[in-house]
Amino acid sequence: MNTFDIVVIGGGMVGAAAALGFAQQGRQVLLVEGHAPMAFTPEQPMDVRVSAISQTSVALLEQLGAWPAIEAMRVCPYRRLETWEAPECRTRFHSDSLGLEQLGYFVENRLLQLGIWQGFEQVDNLTLMCPDTLESIEFGELNQVTLSSGYQCQALWVIGADGANSKVRDLANIGVTAWDYRQHCMLISVQTQLPQQDITWQQFTPKGPRSFLPLCGHQGSLVWYDSPGRIKQLSAMSGEQLRQEILAEFPSELGDIKVQKFGSFPLTRRHAQAYFQHQCVLVGDSAHTINPLAGQGVNLGFKDVMKLLEVTEKHQLSERALRAYQACRRVDNLVMQTGMDVFYKGFSNSLPPLKFARNALLKIAEHSGPIKEQVLRYALGLA
């Protein structure tokens, strides 16, 4: 039976980054993934799943050697961010205020995954099992891992990077605190008439936020939050019918658009009650899911990977390393989850006094100087 230092279950963006990072540390790594990402060609239409990548995440991808491959495919840097409810009460952020060339990048999730997977060719101590999935774990001094294919191996650690419904988390008997936001989120790939590729914006409405994420070449991704019934209704429409609904519901900043693709998912918050148990370690969505309001999901996952690589460099593959990882990341993720919840619930109430107060706060925030810059630094992972 083969023995590995690390078995990573889940080869998406976060799992692939963890596997590559551990392999670059010189550890024997097995990565298990159910589906290989589709290869990239420049003429492909944009994917619906898009992430806002912070400068901190770019630093990790550069450290892994993956960023040049990603940048060579498709990335859209953005320099400006605006948020508002009433149009006259806006909070604006600009990269110039932090001395940065850009605030971050919008990148299709598949291209992030592909760029990291290309790095697998540069290491000879990473074994990829794809397509395959986790079947069971027998816990012991070395965990015995059995895959659906029947393949068996032993590992000191098993990394759960297998998403919000993590089987690693379930098998390790790690509890989760969760609740439903009673809203769904619709992602819509569009072609835009207006040039606005350097800005991302978000308007709050009584039904939920409306957001624009820029992509390359007059392309963009719209994010529409609404009730499950309304999102179901929108999802049943033709592209032209949906276009008419978008033009009626989104702010005039959007301009005219052409609908290309769309998809939807429910909003649920989850947080694992521990980040490790039985030498199983959780990263990314396996450990935490967050309201996508500020696009922090994958950035938090990449920060998990950065911290895990840092503590294992310092403490090797030990329980001390796991405790250091959990102590840092669980608190940080909880703070971000709570902050997004407060923001989300604060704008979900249509009572006139509350509406007046939050718009006043947005207007004050626009002129808050150092405080505004510090908030931006934290959101970008720079503080």
Helix axis angle for 13-24 and 297-315, nearest 10°, is: 20
Whole-model pTM above 0.75? yes
Residue with tokens 């503590």: 311
Least confident segment among 132-141, 211-220, 296-305, 345-354: 345-354
Q: What is the mean pLDDT of residues 175-192?
A: 90
Cβ atoms within 10 Å of 353's Cβ, excluding its own = 8
Nearest to 334 by CA among 380, 280, 296, 295: 296
pLDDT of residue 182: 79
Q: Which residue has the higher pLDDT, 299 or 98?
A: 299
The answer to whether residue 197 scores a pLDDT higher than 90 is no
346 or 292: whose pLDDT is higher?
292
User: Model confidence at 272, in pLDDT bands (50, 70, 90)?
Assistant: very high
Going along the chain, which residue ranges are E strands?
A: 2-9, 29-32, 50-54, 76-78, 80-84, 90-94, 104-108, 126-129, 134-138, 143-147, 152-160, 176-192, 199-203, 210-215, 219-226, 257-272, 276-277, 280-282, 288-289
Q: Where residue 345 falls among pLDDT bands split at 50, 70, 90?
A: low
Band of residue 380 on the pLDDT scale cut at 50, 70, 90: low
What's the CA gap between 126 and 208, in Å, rounded?
44
Across the chain, mean pLDDT equals 89
Q: What is the pLDDT of residue 346?
A: 57
- Residue 37: per-residue pLDDT: 96
**CB neighbourhood size of 314 (10 A):** 11
**Under a CB-based contact definition with an 8 Å cutoff, are residues 302 and 52 in contact?**
no
pLDDT grade for 183, boundaries at 50, 70 and 90: confident
Does residue 335 have a pLDDT over 60? yes
Percent of the chain with pLDDT over 90: 70
Query: Over pLDDT 70: what percentage of the chain?
Result: 88
Q: Of the given ranges (40-49, 75-84, 129-138, 288-297), which has the lowest mean pLDDT?
A: 288-297
pLDDT at residue 356 is higher than 50? no
At 343, the pLDDT band (50, 70, 90 cuts) reads low
Among 9-18, 24-33, 200-209, name the one with the lowest average pLDDT.
200-209
Give the model's pLDDT for residue 353.
45
How far does the chain reach from its first CA to its final CA, in angstroms? 45
Q: Flag whether pLDDT at 354 surpasses 60.
A: no
Query: pLDDT band at residue 152, thresholds of 50, 70 and 90?
Result: very high
Indicate if the pLDDT at residue 364 is higher than 70. Answer: no
CATH number listed for the domain at residues 180-268? 3.30.9.10
Q: Give 71's contacts (C-beta < 8 A, 6+ positions apart).
A: none
- Cα–Cα distance measured from residue 113 to residue 64, given in angstroms and rounded to the nearest whole number: 12
- The 10 Å Cβ neighbour count of residue 336 is 22
- pLDDT tens track for 60-108: 999 999 999 999 999 999 999 998 887 777 888 888 887 889 999 999 9
Range among 242-246, 263-267, 297-301 with highest mean pLDDT value: 242-246
Residues 6+ apart with CB under 8 A from 326: 274, 275, 276
What pLDDT is stored for residue 374 in this prediction? 63
pLDDT single digits (tens) 155-177 = 999 999 999 999 999 999 999 99
| Domain coordinates in residue numbering, the chain | 2-75+110-178+270-344, 180-268
Report the CATH architecture of 2-75+110-178+270-344. 3-Layer(bba) Sandwich (3.50)
Which pLDDT score is estimated for 359?
47
